[in-house]
Amino acid sequence: MAKDWKADKGDQGNCLPDQLPLIPLLSTVVFPGMIVNLQVSRERNLRVAAEVEVDDLVGLVLQTDLSASEPEPSHLSTIGVAARVINKVNVPGDTVQLILQGLRRFKITEFINTHPYLKARIRDAEEDAVISLSANVLISNAVALFEELAGLDGSINSEAVSLVRMNTEGCGEVADQISTRLVMRLEDKTEILEAVEPEERLRSVIRILRREIQVKKIGADIQRQTQDEIGKTQREYILRQQMKTIKKELGDAASKEGGKDLRLRIEASALPEKVRKEALAEMSRLEAMSPASAEHGVIRAYLETLVDLPWDKQSSDNIDLSEAIDILNTDHYGLDKVKERIVEFLAVRKMNPSLKGPILCLVGPPGTGKTSLGRSIARSMNREYARISVGGLRDEAEIRGHRRTYVGAMPGKIIQALRRAGTNNPVFVIDEIDKIGSDHRGDPASALLEVLDPEQNKAFCDLYLDAPFDLSRVMFVATANRLDTIPPALRDRLEIIELGGYSEEEKLAIARNYLIPRQRREAALEEGDLEIRDDAVCTILREYTRDAGVRSLERKIAAICRKVTTAKTLKKIQGTVCIESESVHQYLGPPRFFSEMAGRVDEVGVATGLAWTPSGGEILFVELSRSSGKGRLQLTGQLGDVMKESAQAAMSYVRAHAADLGIPEEAFTTTDLHLHVPAGGIPKDGPSAGIALVTAIASILTGRPVHHNIAMTGEISLRGRVLPVGGVREKILAARRAGLETVILPLWNRKDLDDVPQEVKDDLRFIFAENVADVLDTVLHRHAVAGVLVDRTGETAARDDTVPSDRSHGTHRIPDSIPGH
């Protein structure tokens, strides 16, 4: 062997040679000072073992790629340990046993060769021990933690602790001494081996010691708890055996008492015969079963559910139409269409008691009283009230129930609600039916098809009950905010009754008669403590709320009541507090909403449209600008696909009728248009802005301003027909709220004015259009202007500010406008 590989016994390997043969190790990590018995069997390692003699030095490096049978340089760690050969023994089976002692860390700087074995140029990687205050603290902590771990781990003997306590010359030596005696993961050993800086190495050891101590403590706690549980189980077994003997001596009377009561309830209940036989069979199983059995509780819960269900319990309908009308009018203001339908059902029910319950679906914006109306229906019919919410429901088992084979099985929401109601003919409200979902667990909407079908629900089978239950006597009332998200098959089973948003007069009446008294009571105020004037309520409606219902209004009234209660409690005010329009801002802060039409004037390229949202109607402005270009149309404002198609149809119509409108043909090839619908952060879609889009495009290309006080809604066709749209009531309420004077509607929507409150119709002028030419003739000024804005004085001769009630243009004729209708 080369002389450079001999270890100098005088310095115990403190000076390393420039190069060493390498032995890659798969899962063994050797630290300085550690003696290891190594079995060498791989070809290259055998070549090294064959050449080394006792006292020779070899390099031990960790193999990072464990899949390589004969590792290459790229498969090895760059940090290793120089080890002295203490003994070498050839054993049978082409294996050599080497007993090695780790000396010092080294770093591989260059591989010299890979055959016949790995050989590398190295440099010493150990740093000399530096005694400092921080080093002494780390050493003390490490030794103390090692002693604590030894007390928890029986595999660490006291001799090892003594050796560590004696060798405290430096952080690196202490870290290596402790690491040699710890059982660690390979990743932890590798981290410590490759930590060249002594204090960093000792910190890693301290972290591992703390983790191992925590693991040992948790293991000891678990073992102690397990022993306690075993002792408790044995004790319970002995007591149970003694109790069994006592029960046997007493005739088992006490243990059977509860089962006897349940059997009597089953026999006395009005269960169907088939269900009764099944229940009695399960009861016999229960009586023969030990109360300690896991199945005992499952069977008992099932039988109690069967007995508690109202198989034949129903409330008698005490139908007094006059009283029912009074109840509905007392609980809810307006909603005449819904009340009329309920009274019709009550009248028919009174004459025909065998009539099956209808399945109503109340559709309207949030806060319009849909859910609370169900409770009023129950009161008016003298029935029990049940309610479930299916919003966000995705598991079919929530409707049909779980099979009893599953742990924690229970009936579906329908059966649970009927059990709570106690009768089989309650008024059953299914809330938020439009927000039901589906996923891999099933489709709850499909499960509701059976529940809401009068031909099927007389034998509704809940999977938990595994028996048919009659739902035909139940009056189901579903609620939804919109219809388009309800599956068609489910919607086909529902009788749709649409609830529109409230007008300002209706909200004022609701606030005066319902909201203010209720919030005053909840705030512990007497009637004489607080008075909220009507003008204050109107200010709240116009400047602080924008929903179609009254929830936001009630929240604002509640905020005022709370502030008044607080002020009275602190004795800041006394006597009656009167809230007027001018003082609302003191209680609610700055206004949240402002008039959409404030500061609006007749402009070129700006049209006022009307939109419907699930929360009510809104004003929609369509704005266009033009610039030199190649005839492109840019659309912005988060427009949906349908609205983009409407814009393209509007552009096509204007181009096809350019001659009639006085637009030169070159305007479509030399001008780019940018169409924007504020607010850009809110998605918008639907076809009802068609005539507003046509108006804005025609205005920007002709230079004729648009009357800003005219709102419009209607879909368009390429032939210029104005097609009917939905949400007319909410759109008209929004137009009136914004202070508009005239509304243009499709002729086919004329019938929808019957649903609009009379006081709203009295404040607006309605124009019904059959085609786009009628609309443009009405909303555009007759003459173009040079600038974008028209003179605000209204005295310019070129502009026509009047909206004609009967105007002819070519072959088109707009029907009569009708104020208040």
Residues with a catalytic annotation lie at 688, 731
**Cα 524 to Cα 107: distance, rounded to the nearest angstrom:** 81
Alpha helices in 382-442 (DSSP H): 397-400, 413-421
Spatial contact of 749 and 728, defined as CB atoms under 8 Å apart: yes
**Cα 143 to Cα 352: distance, rounded to the nearest angstrom:** 92
Which letter does DSSP use for residue 524 in this model? T
Handedness of CA 329, 331, 333, 334 (dihedral sign): negative
**Cα 298 to Cα 280: distance, rounded to the nearest angstrom:** 15
Three-state DSSP at 607 gives: strand
Q: Which of 329, 481, 354 is nearest to 342 (CA)?
A: 329
**Cα 383 to Cα 318: distance, rounded to the nearest angstrom:** 9
Handedness of CA 571, 573, 578, 582 (dihedral sign): negative
Which letter does DSSP use for residue 780 in this model? B
Spatial contact of 778 and 804, defined as CB atoms under 8 Å apart: yes
- Written in H, E and C, the secondary structure of 636-661 is ECCECHHHHHHHHHHHHHHHHCHHHH
Reading the block at residue 334, the tokens are 């307006």
Angle, helices 198-249 vs 171-180, to 10°: value is 40
Would you call 606 exposed, middle or buried from its count of C-beta atoms within 10 A (0-12, 13-18, 19+)? buried
Would you call 289 exposed, middle or buried from its count of C-beta atoms within 10 A (0-12, 13-18, 19+)? middle
402, 650, 679, 693, 807 from 682: Cα distances, Å: 41, 22, 6, 18, 37
**Cα 142 to Cα 203: distance, rounded to the nearest angstrom:** 8
71, 123, 757 from 110: Cα distances, Å: 16, 10, 93
**Cα 589 to Cα 754: distance, rounded to the nearest angstrom:** 38
Spatial contact of 200 and 227, defined as CB atoms under 8 Å apart: no
Spatial contact of 707 and 617, defined as CB atoms under 8 Å apart: no
152, 154, 164, 289 from 147: Cα distances, Å: 9, 11, 9, 55
- Written in H, E and C, the secondary structure of 673-734 is EEEECCCCCCCECCCCCHHHHHHHHHHHHHCCCECCCEEECCEECCCCEEECCCCHHHHHHH
Which letter does DSSP use for residue 791 in this model? P
Reading the block at residue 239, the tokens are 């007591």
Reading the block at residue 200, the tokens are 């960093």
- Written in H, E and C, the secondary structure of 252-293 is CHHHHHHHHHHHHHHHHCCCCHHHHHHHHHHHHHHHCCCCCC
**Cα 500 to Cα 755: distance, rounded to the nearest angstrom:** 8
